[in-house]
Amino acid sequence: MDSNWTPNSGDAPTPSHYTPYSTTPPPAAENQSKKGRGSRMVVPVLIASLLSAGLAAGGTAAIVSQNGGSTTTVVREVSQPSANASSTGAAASTTGSQMSIAQMYAQEGAGVVRVEHSGGLGSGFVIDKEGHILTNAHVVDGAKGPISVSFSNNEKVEAKIVGVDNATDVAVLKVDVPASALTVMPLGSSSDLQVGAPVVAIGNPFGQDRTVTSGIISAMARQIQAPNGFTINGAIQTDAAINHGNSGGPLLDMNGKVIGINSQIDTGGQANAGNVGIGFAVPINLVKQVASELMTGGKAQHAWLGVQLTNVDPTLASQVKIGSDYGAMIAKVTKGSPADKAGLTGSTGEVTIGGQTYAIGGEVVVEANGKKIANVADLQAVVSAGKPGDKLDLTVKTSDGQTKQITVTLGDQPQEPTALAG
């Protein structure tokens, strides 16, 4: 998130227990690390070659060691496959016979590429025989001059940017090479993943080409921060070793299918730390949807409600009159957002129970388009499935127990959080 972003005038600080919804930027990384989350630092895993390039990207520079020298990493708190991907056998299923890591590397390793430009080095992978390559948006962010892609024979070719989506940290590149030179990595599904399932990461940590590491899925449905300051929902957490330079590389299941793009690591508060066993990948179902839009029109759109939300806690519901014992409470409404225009209202105060601070007074969404909303994740899923211009029929409960029906016309999420400032 851009550390210079200023909240809307009059907005109160967001309490640490709030779950920020993706349509409104969460607090700055340095604030989050001090508010209920311990000492944390979440960083994109890109190797940047110049300090000036790192600062130009809008983050904080953190020095890491590489072969006795120093490099720079930008620090930020962070569907369907395309027609082209489908035509080349990019699958959307994780079923099939499992492979050993050695078999997987032999079969898929050549599909992982090295992405370089004057400002940094990361990873990427081939998704079709037409030369399309997926990587992270922050890998190509700040590129001045040509972007090159290196294959397993170390030959560099120039890549063109097809599209970049800073809201999901996804970028699509294209290279002009013979189809016979490309190893396509099949795309799987991130909708049915299980915590504890084994996974494999392939990338270029610290410039060590096509390094393979393995681990498990440590958790699902994590939230990480996108390059533009909004939230990416549904991220995959893994303990497979991910380091600077792994950004944009694939996270695979044991069927050899890509289930996510490796994007960030949690360094435990150490700015110059490498892998500590907590890495995050953007889920492939989201990536496929965004990549398809980028390949079709060069831009991806995201439905926007314009709120920050917090779960209705049973402890809170049992002791404070909030209108419902389940649902997603609106903690804050962004001025001028679709939620604001529809008349939704946020919290009016706070209460502390057992040492935990809760928002109170905000309307609680309990149903959206006929679906029960049990928690924040349910409402996020409904909004994310929509498109700008779609109608969202909400059933909300007020703190005095009234039930209201409110229709919101979803907007197009701003490209940068600065669009919401002042």
Q: CA–CA distance from 203 to each of 121, 140, 348, 365, 417 (Å)?
A: 11, 16, 47, 42, 30
Tokens in use for 287?
A: 């990536």
Of residues 117, 132, 138, 244, which has the active-site annotation? 138
Other C-beta atoms lying within 10 Å of the C-beta of residue 156: 13
- Check residue 119 and give its pLDDT: 83
Domains of the chain: 42-297 (2.40.10.120), 303-420 (2.30.42.10)
CA distance 44 to 243: 9
H-run or E-run covering 356: strand 356-360
Q: Higher model confidence: residue 407 or residue 28?
A: 407
Active-site position among 82, 247, 263, 292: 247
Q: Is residue 381 pLDDT above 90, yes or no?
A: no
Active-site residue, 138 included:
yes
The CA distances from residue 198 to 100, 187, 218, 232, in Å, are: 11, 17, 9, 23
**Measured between alpha carbons, how far is 183 from 177 in angstroms, rounded to an integer?**
12
Catalytic annotation present for 191 = no
pLDDT, mean of residues 128-144: 94
pLDDT (0 to 100) of residue 28: 35
Non-local CB neighbours of 213 within 8 Å, separated by 6+ positions: 200, 201, 202, 240, 241, 242
CA–CA separation, 34 and 39 (whole Å): 7
Is 247 a residue of the active site? yes
Which residue in 16, 18, 300 sits closest to 166, CA to CA?
A: 300
Mean pLDDT value of segment 210-216: 96
List the catalytic residue out of 128, 141, 165, 169: 169
Long-range own/partner contacts, residues 370-373 (CB < 8 A, 24 or more apart): 373/326, 373/327, 373/328
- Give me the mean pLDDT over the 38-49 stretch: 65
- Cα–Cα distance between 173 and 193 in angstroms, integer? 27
C-beta separation of 284 from 190 below 8 A: yes
pLDDT in tens, 243-255: 999 999 999 999 9
**How much is the average pLDDT of 394-407?**
91
